[in-house]
Structure 1
Amino acid sequence: MNRPLPTSPAGRDHQLAGKKIAWITGASSGIGAALVRRLVAEGHFVIVSGRNRDALLKLQQPSPKLIKVLTCDVGDDAAMVEAGRALAEITDQLDLVIACAGVCEYEDDLELDVKRYRRVFDANFFGVVNTLRQALPLLANSRAPVFVAVGSLSSVVGFPRAEAYGASKAALSYFMDSVRADTSRVRLRTVLVRPGFIDTPLTKSNDFDMPFLMSPERAAERILRGLSGNASVIDFPRRLSWPLRMLGVLRPVWYKLCAPRMTRIRKLRNT
Structure 2
Amino acid sequence: MKVMITGATSGIGKELAIRYANQGHQVIACGRSEEKLQRLADSNSYIRTLCFELTDFHHYPQLEHDIDLLILNAGDCYYIQDPLNFNAEAFERTININLISIGYGLQAWLKNITQGGRLVLVSSSAAILPLPKAEAYGASKAGLTYLAKTLALTLKPHHISVSVVQPGFVDTPLTERNNFPMPMILTSQVAAQKIIQGISKGKAEINVPLSFVLIMKILRCLPHFIWRYLAVRMT
Q: Report the TM-score, using the length of structure 1 for normalisation.
A: 0.83
Which structure 1 residue ranges, 5 or more long, are not aligned?
1-19, 264-271
Residue 234 of structure 1: aligned partner = 206
Residue 31 of structure 2: aligned partner = 50
What is the CA-CA distance between 1:125 and the residue it aligns to? Answer: 0.4
Kindly report the root-mean-square deviation, in angstroms, between the aligned alpha carbons of the 2 structures. 1.1
Measure the CA separation in 1 of the matches of 2:222 and 2:71: 32
Measure the CA separation in 2 of the matches of 1:195 and 1:39: 19
Residue 10 of structure 1: aligned partner = none
1:106 has 2:63 as partner: no
Deviation per residue, 1:249-268 (Å, 9 max, x gap): 22423112x202112xxxxx
Measure the CA separation in 2 of the matches of 1:162 and 1:143: 37
1:26 has 2:15 as partner: no
Structure 1 residues 181 and 251, CA, compared in 2 at 3 Å: closer, same or farther?
A: farther
Correspondence list, 1:79-98, <5 A: 79-80=59-60, 83-84=61-62, 87-88=63-64, 92-98=65-71
Which of 181, 193, 198 lines up with 1:209 in the alignment?
181
> How many percent of aligned residue pairs carry the same amino acid?
33
1:132 has 2:132 as partner: no
Out of 39-48 and 241-250, give the one that drifted further. Answer: 241-250
Measure the CA separation in 2 of the matches of 1:194 and 1:48: 21
Residue 155 of structure 2: aligned partner = 183
More strand by share: 2
Residue 117 of structure 1: aligned partner = 91
1:255 has 2:235 as partner: no
Indicate the structure (1 or 2) with the bigger Cα radius of gyration.
Answer: 1
Aligned residue-pair number: 233
Structure 1 residues 208 and 68, CA, compared in 2 at 3 Å: closer, same or farther?
A: same
Which structure 2 residue ranges, 5 or more long, are not aligned?
none
Measure the CA separation in 2 of the matches of 1:224 and 1:51: 24
Residue 193 of structure 1: aligned partner = 165
1:45 maps to amino acid = Q
Measure the CA separation in 2 of the matches of 1:105 and 1:245: 24
Residue 128 of structure 2: aligned partner = 156
